[in-house]
Amino acid sequence: MHKHTGNLFILSAPSGAGKSSLYKALLKADDKVRISISHTTRAPRAGEEHGREYYFIDDESFLDMIAEDAFFEHAQVFDHYYGTSKETIFGMLEQGLDVILEIDWQGARQVRQLYPEAVGIFILPPSLSSLEERLKKRATDTEDVIQRRMAKAVNEMSHYHEYDFVIVNDDFDTALAEMSSIFMAMRAKTPVMQQKYGNLINDLLSL
């Protein structure tokens, strides 16, 4: 058991299911939650900023970081490298913040090995056609990229059962409420409360 009061959450979904929209809404509503900013070798989309959505780096720098053992987990997704640096997450967990890793199923497996207390949440779309429609409406990727992401969607979704919780993102507000309630519930787990309220519990039991 790691001596952290923050919880580590893994959020996975096929591209376009809505995981970024959900975590962004949760971050606005809950000041105890932070997102881990990954490193990637893919090009920024319109509106994305270095250090906000991702740290955008080239292949050589990514390979240097692997050689330096700088990653907590990393994987190749859609022909690009993506990874979570160790530095990014542990400071926040130690401050008692909940940290979200928005990563694919390969990264999720690595995190579970290294950090078994991590809580996995898988987001499913209501249908394959709405997934494709969302990718098209988002208008951030070419038709070719969208088709490659759709082709990988079923493989990503086939790992849903490796996660602790599943949310179907049909109505956005309902999905957000479900996600928020999972965060709340994990904060009230007995080992977490024992760490956080150890003194109070000792006082209450001291008569």
Ligand X SMILES: Nc1ncnc2c1ncn2[C@@H]1O[C@H](COP(=O)(O)OP(=O)(O)OP(=O)(O)O)[C@@H](O)[C@H]1O
134 is a contact residue toward ligand X (CB under 6 A)? yes
Closer CB to ligand X, 59 or 170, in the complex: 170
Evaluated on CA atoms 11, 12, 13, 15, the torsion sign reads positive
Q: Which residues partner with 193 through β-bridges?
A: none
Query: What x-and-dash track marks residues 130-169 binding ligand LQESDW3C by CB under 6 A?
Result: ----------------------------------------
Query: What x-and-dash track marks residues 47-76 binding ligand LQESDW3C by CB under 6 A?
Result: --------------------------x-x-
22 is a contact residue toward ligand LQESDW3C (CB under 6 A)? no
Judge contact between 49 and 199, C-beta under 8 A: no
- Smallest distance from the beta carbon of 146 to ligand X, in angstroms? 10
**CA-wise closest residue to 35 among 103, 134, 119, 135:** 103
Q: Residue positions in the annotated binding site for ATP?
A: 13-20
Q: Can you give the binding site for ligand LQESDW3C, defined by CB under 6 A? A: 12, 15, 38, 42, 73, 75, 77-78, 82-84, 102-104, 106-107
Residues that bind ligand X (CB under 6 A): 13, 15-21, 134, 137-138, 169, 172
